[in-house]
């Protein structure tokens, strides 16, 4: 399952040339059938708009690789990181104005999933049991900000994060994780901004139908794992298939996937990619249903940890 880490130059090419994973994004009906995360599309748009972003992201990749090459063990700054979370709720309808209980349920899911306390953690197959990981990061609800709007959907151009466009600007984004709950449209469940992007748009966007424990009507994405997946991106994790056929997610202990997996794949699910026949479909960074994803790997944990150490792009969260 070993992958070679990409150089900064290779990473730049990866960020610039990854495939457009647009299947299942054409309607709200298709989103119910197939998970759709717009993080990669948003990244590609940001790279086109800001040529310096690729430079910053390559510097982050070089820093991350350096930490891992030096034998970085995953130790976080000041021990365990506790991340304050600001939730920005933009609503037009009563159902979009999600309750404090639903919001807290998402925080609870994040705490379980990032601390290996999820009830399905022990369902990880024996093949991957040696690399399943407790990331060891906790989340605390800091503030809920609500704003009524006339918008029926917000899209993926970060309008929900801009006051001038009717949204809510992030609160203290260098020291607080901002989540936006709003109807995105286009079949998109959520999206995140990778480390290195502008602080004015930093954070995670989740459609209210898939925010936390949102009820059986929103199955199979009603268990809060859209939040786990998107926060994973915010912590510098890539889609496990690398947004390319047999692509790289820049993690050494995750198998190479043919492409995204959907639904609840039967185990073992075989890949035709060279050297890695069984795919880690239960990883949070795949596209499976909420009840089919339940692990991070040790390599992903170490990649996450690198952004919080001194010199990392989110080191301020560890102070």
* 23 is a domain residue: no
Q: What are phi and psi of 283, to 5 degrees?
A: -75, 145
**Residues 92-148 pLDDT 10s:** 999 999 999 999 999 999 999 999 999 999 999 999 999 999 999 999 999 999 999
pLDDT at 13: 35
d(CA 170, CA 175): 11
* 34 is a domain residue: no
| Angle of helix 8-17 versus helix 39-49 axis, rounded to 10 | 110
177: left (phi over 0), alpha (psi -120 to 50) or beta: beta
Whichever domain contains 95, its CATH number is 3.40.390.10
Tell whether omega for the bond before 268 is within 30 degrees of 0, i.e. cis.
Answer: yes
d(CA 214, CA 221): 8
Give me the helices (H) in 114-272, please: 126-129, 225-234
Into how many domains does the chain fold? Answer: 1
pLDDT at 30: 37
Start-to-end CA distance of the chain, whole Å, equals 35
* 164 is a domain residue: yes
Which residues lie below 8 Å from residue 80, measured CB to CB, with a gap of 6+?
Answer: 136, 137, 138
What does the longest C-alpha to C-alpha distance in the chain come to?
52
The residue assigned the tokens 């040339």 is: 17
* 1 is a domain residue: no
* 187 is a domain residue: yes
**Residues 146-157 pLDDT 10s:** 999 999 999 999
pLDDT at 23: 33
- Choose the catalytic residue: 41, 61, 96, 230: 230
Residue ranges making up the domain that contains 287:
79-308
Q: For 74-78, which contacts have Cβ atoms below 8 Å and span 24 or more sequence positions?
A: 74/136, 74/298, 74/301, 74/302, 74/305, 75/305, 75/309, 76/136, 76/137, 76/305, 76/308, 76/309, 76/318, 77/308, 77/309, 77/310, 77/315, 77/317, 77/318, 77/319, 78/318, 78/319
- Is 96 part of the annotated catalytic residue set? no
Cα within 13 Å of Cα(252), Cβ side? 12
* 14 is a domain residue: no
* 207 is a domain residue: yes
* 63 is a domain residue: no
Look up residue 310 and give its two tokens.
């001194």
**β-bridge partners, 138:** 82
What is the pLDDT tens value at each position of the chain, 319 positions in all? 444 334 333 343 333 333 333 333 333 333 445 898 998 999 999 999 999 999 999 999 999 998 887 755 444 544 578 999 999 999 999 999 999 999 999 999 999 999 999 999 999 999 999 999 999 999 999 999 999 999 999 999 999 999 999 999 999 999 999 999 999 999 999 999 999 999 999 999 999 999 999 999 999 999 999 999 999 999 999 999 999 999 999 999 999 999 999 999 999 999 999 887 999 999 999 999 999 999 999 999 999 999 998 899 999 987 6
């Amino acid at each position: 399952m070993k992958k070679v880490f990409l150089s900064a130059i290779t990473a730049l090419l990866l960020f610039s040339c990854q495939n457009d994973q647009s299947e299942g994004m054409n309607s709200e009906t298709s989103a119910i059938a197939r998970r759709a995360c717009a993080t990669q599309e948003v990244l590609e748009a940001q790279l086109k708009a800001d040529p310096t972003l690729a430079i910053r992201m390559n510097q982050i990749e070089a820093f991350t690789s350096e930490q891992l090459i030096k034998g970085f063990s995953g130790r976080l700054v000041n021990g365990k990181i506790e991340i304050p979370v600001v939730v920005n709720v933009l609503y037009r309808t009563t159902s979009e104005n999600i309750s404090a209980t639903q919001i807290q349920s998402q925080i609870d899911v994040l705490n379980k999933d990032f601390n290996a306390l999820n009830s399905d953690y022990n369902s990880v197959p024996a093949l991957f049991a040696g690399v399943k990981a407790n990331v060891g990061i906790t989340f605390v609800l800091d503030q809920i900000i609500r704003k009524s709007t006339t918008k029926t959907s917000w899209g993926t151009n970060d309008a929900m994060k801009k006051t001038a466009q009717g949204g809510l600007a992030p609160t203290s984004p260098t020291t607080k994780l901002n989540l936006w709950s709003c109807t995105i449209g286009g079949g998109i469940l959520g999206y995140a901004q990778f480390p290195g992007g502008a602080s004015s748009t930093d954070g995670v966007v989740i459609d209210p139908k898939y925010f936390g424990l949102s009820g059986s009507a929103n199955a199979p994405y009603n268990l809060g794992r859209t939040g786990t997946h998107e926060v994973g991106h915010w912590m510098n994790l890539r889609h496990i298939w690398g947004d390319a056929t047999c692509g790289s997610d820049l993690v050494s202990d995750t198998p190479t996937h043919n492409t995204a997996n959907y639904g609840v794949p039967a185990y073992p699910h075989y890949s035709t990619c060279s050297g890695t026949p069984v795919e880690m479909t239960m990883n949070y960074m795949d596209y499976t249903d909420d009840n089919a994803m339940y692990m991070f790997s040790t390599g992903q944990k170490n990649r996450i940890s690198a952004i919080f150490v001194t010199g990392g792009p989110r080191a301020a969260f560890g102070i």
